[in-house]
Amino acid sequence: MAPRGAAARSTDRFERKREAILDAATRILNRKGVKGLTLSDAAAAVDLSTTSVTYYFKRKDDLAAACIIRGVEALHDMAEQALAPATPSDRLHRLLTLYFERMRQTVAEDAAPLPVISDMRALSSPRREEASTAYGKLFRKVRQIFDTPDLAWMSRGRRTARTRMLLEQLFWAQTWLPKYDPEDYSRVRDRMHDILVHGVAAPGDTWTPQPIPMEELAAREGPELARETFLLAATRLINKRGYRGASVDKISAELNVTKGSFYHHNEAKDDLVVACFERTFEVMRRAQRLAMELPGNQWERLCACAAALAEFQLSEHGPLLRTSALTALPEQMRRQMVEHANRVSDRFASMISDGIAEGSIRPVDPVIAAQMLNATLNACADLGALVPDVRPKAAPAVFAKPMMMGVFLH
């Protein structure tokens, strides 16, 4: 029988090696998504054979799920610590502080990277359900930020919607935060906290968005309309089931067309994802253009644009493609789509900057505010699942207004 000390050392070695595999696999997962992760790549990253890695993780999905669940649990620990302060604002600031410190440690290689959580939809059963259970626990913990007597007026549905928006800010920040030096992360944190608590509204501003007809955002007629129908069906399946779950067979069945017809319009599935993203960005650009043509000041135009896109997400013309699909694309394609997303954000930044100059929007960091608005509108695609009884016309007030006016305001 082995001495107890030897058994403990063996367990320690096992855990260290397992953590090293998870660290390496998470970096691959963040670059290539669940679709691109392989056991052999993870093994090579830690100088092991693939057979040795299977001693820890039998299948690729076991490894991917372990990466995602470990990341979700790390975020849960942050949320647990963030609930110590008494006020919602201080709790939110604590959560952002812990998150950005983890981002700084990751850049300095003092901590393992956090995984792209949204890619859990690409897992297969039962790993997807296990990851979803862990995420649900995280979600409920973050929602406790709103649990104070002062916010008793806020319905469960509104707390749920605002929690989803807060989490999306963290997830999307992983995409744009690398533009900043780690020494500036504390400044970014403070700007984000300021925007989340106070919105971008100047004193005296009200949430009374001018309407933009949904038909103005959707494709018109003819070949454009036929392609829109095809891309919308694909978008809905990809958002619901992930890249792997939205197979060519399922997309074709949804539209009652043959696989041959699918490949007539799309050379490969990656091309279809790109086309869905391009449709998404075009709808957002169209909303921005229509809003900028409206009478009034920049605050009123920005509200109109945000409200129209939030409503579009839940309308018969929606949703837009979730950014979670980015991880399914090859790296070069993904960079191109992120550049498209950044151009949409840059236009929001221009609208915000012009509003600050004219006094209709309060002084905020327009670049950070624009990325946060982009993230909010993207996450609105989930609102129907989170708050099933919400109607498209109510979506702007439930989801976009908190970003514009402040998450703790009525």
Please give the pLDDT value at position 359. Answer: 97
Please give the pLDDT value at position 264. Answer: 60
Please give the pLDDT value at position 263. Answer: 60
Answer yes or no: do 164 and 239 share one domain: no
CA distance 405 to 205: 9
Answer yes or no: do 111 and 259 share one domain: no
Residue 56 has pLDDT above 80, yes or no: yes
Confidence of residue 345 (pLDDT cuts 50, 70, 90): very high
Q: For the packed helices 269-292 and 331-358, what is the interaxial angle rounded to 10 degrees?
A: 10
Answer yes or no: do 185 and 300 share one domain: no
Q: How far apart are the first and last CA of the chain?
A: 66
Residue 72 has pLDDT above 70, yes or no: yes
Give a yes or no: residue 111 inside a domain.
yes
Answer yes or no: do 153 and 249 share one domain: no
Among residues 198, 228, 261, which one ends one of the domains?
Answer: 198
Helix/strand/coil for 210: coil
Mean pLDDT, to the nearest integer, of 116-132? Answer: 89
Confidence of residue 14 (pLDDT cuts 50, 70, 90): confident
Answer yes or no: do 134 and 248 share one domain: no
Length of the chain: 410
CA distance 55 to 51: 7
Give a yes or no: residue 190 inside a domain.
yes
Give a yes or no: residue 203 inside a domain.
no
Answer yes or no: do 121 and 219 share one domain: no
Answer yes or no: do 103 and 131 share one domain: yes
Q: How do residues 177-235 score in pLDDT, each as one tens digit?
A: 999 999 999 999 999 999 999 999 999 999 999 999 998 888 665 566 667 777 888 88
Among residues 170, 198, 226, which one ends one of the domains?
Answer: 198
Confidence of residue 322 (pLDDT cuts 50, 70, 90): confident
Please give the pLDDT value at position 332. Answer: 80
Q: How do residues 265-296 score in pLDDT, each as one tens digit?
A: 666 667 778 888 899 999 999 999 999 999 99
Cα angle for residues 112, 194, 145 (degrees, 5° grid): 65
Please give the pLDDT value at position 219. Answer: 65
Give a yes or no: residue 209 inside a domain.
no
Give a yes or no: residue 118 inside a domain.
yes
Among residues 172, 198, 224, which one ends one of the domains?
Answer: 198
Please give the pLDDT value at position 188. Answer: 98
Answer yes or no: do 280 and 338 share one domain: yes
Q: Is the peptide bond before 366 cis (omega within 30 degrees of 0)?
A: no
Q: What is the dihedral of CA 118, 119, 125, 130, to 10 degrees?
A: -50
Mean pLDDT, to the nearest integer, of 299-325? Answer: 93
Q: What is the extent of the structural domain holding 220?
A: 214-405
Confidence of residue 129 (pLDDT cuts 50, 70, 90): very high
Number of domains observed in the structure of the chain: 2
Answer yes or no: do 247 and 181 share one domain: no
Give a yes or no: residue 205 inside a domain.
no
C-alpha separations of 200 from 66, 149, 227, 298, 362 in Å: 39, 25, 37, 11, 6
- CATH number, domain containing residue 61: 1.10.357.10
Q: What is the pTM of this model?
A: 0.91
Which of 251-255, 277-281, 379-383 is the least confident region? Answer: 251-255
Q: How do residues 20-49 score in pLDDT, each as one tens digit?
A: 999 999 999 988 888 789 999 999 999 999
**CB contact at 8 A, 139 and 166:** no
Q: Which residue has the higher pLDDT, 162 or 6?
A: 162
Give a yes or no: residue 316 inside a domain.
yes
Please give the pLDDT value at position 222. Answer: 56
Confidence of residue 7 (pLDDT cuts 50, 70, 90): low
Answer yes or no: do 302 and 337 share one domain: yes
Phi, psi of 230 (to 5 degrees): -65, -50
Q: Is the peptide bond before 319 cis (omega within 30 degrees of 0)?
A: yes
Give a yes or no: residue 72 inside a domain.
yes
Please give the pLDDT value at position 402. Answer: 96
CA distance 156 to 161: 9
Answer yes or no: do 165 and 226 share one domain: no
Place of tokens 């809003």: 291
Answer yes or no: do 180 and 228 share one domain: no
Place of tokens 């995602």: 68
